[in-house]
């Protein structure tokens, strides 16, 4: 999954304001890469509660770029976060997330315990709790 964050970083690295890349290892370049990784990881593991991934990542890294690059940075972030979101939401679901944790339906049963059935990929609810997804407030997909 880090191919997404690495791809974002590779496209953005030349725009990072810090002048000398080698002298700043562990500096702004590393911080941008880490922010990209964190955002992609969150998208992969917590997609249903991550409403505006592109906007969030952009806000995290925009300070490392000059004003003149801000628009391009946002476009790159937005494009890759869309790819990543699409990728994570269309992967065949085998009951486990990318980190090997068992996936469980997001609903709570009437007895107040978490529903343990396998959720559907597009909304995180199992087949018998699909009605809950419809009542949920819809979050805008685009940032």
Pairs from 24-29 (Cβ < 8 Å, separation ≥ 24): 28/64
Name the β-bridge partners of 114.
108
- Residue 76 contacts Zn ion per CB under 5 A: no
For residues 64 and 18, the answer to whether their CB atoms sit within 8 Å is: yes
Compute the least distance from the CB of residue 127 to Zn ion, in Å. 8
Residue 73 CB contacts under 8 Å (≥ 6 apart), including other chains: 12, 15, 58, 61, 62, 65
Q: Which is nearer to Zn ion, 22 or 131 (CB)?
A: 131
Residue 80 CA to residue 54 CA, distance in Å, equals 8
CB–CB of 12/76 below 8 Å?
yes
The answer to the question of residue 103 lying near Zn ion (CB under 5 A) is no
User: Site for Zn ion (CB under 5 A): how many residues?
Assistant: 6
Q: Is 48 a residue that touches Zn ion (CB under 5 A)?
A: no
Interface stretch with Zn ion, choices 8-16, 54-62, 83-91, 117-125 (CB under 5 A): 117-125
Q: Which is nearer to Zn ion, 29 or 47 (CB)?
A: 47
CB of 103 to Zn ion, least distance (A): 11
Binding site for Zn ion (CB under 5 A): 105, 107, 115, 117, 126, 129
């Amino acid at each position: 999954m880090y191919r997404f964050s690495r791809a974002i970083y590779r496209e953005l690295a030349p725009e990072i304001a810090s002048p000398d890349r080698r002298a700043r290892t562990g500096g702004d370049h590393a911080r941008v890469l880490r922010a990209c990784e964190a955002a992609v990881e969150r998208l992969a593991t917590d997609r249903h509660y991550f409403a505006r991934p592109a906007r969030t990542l952009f806000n995290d890294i925009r300070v490392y770029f000059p004003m003149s690059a801000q628009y391009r940075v946002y476009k790159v972030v937005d494009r890759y976060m869309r790819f990543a979101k699409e990728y994570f939401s269309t992967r065949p679901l085998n009951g486990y997330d990318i980190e090997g944790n068992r996936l469980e339906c997001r609903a709570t049963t009437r007895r107040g315990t978490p529903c343990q059935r396998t959720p559907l990929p597009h909304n995180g609810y199992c087949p018998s709790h699909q009605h809950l997804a419809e009542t949920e407030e819809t979050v805008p997909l685009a940032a």
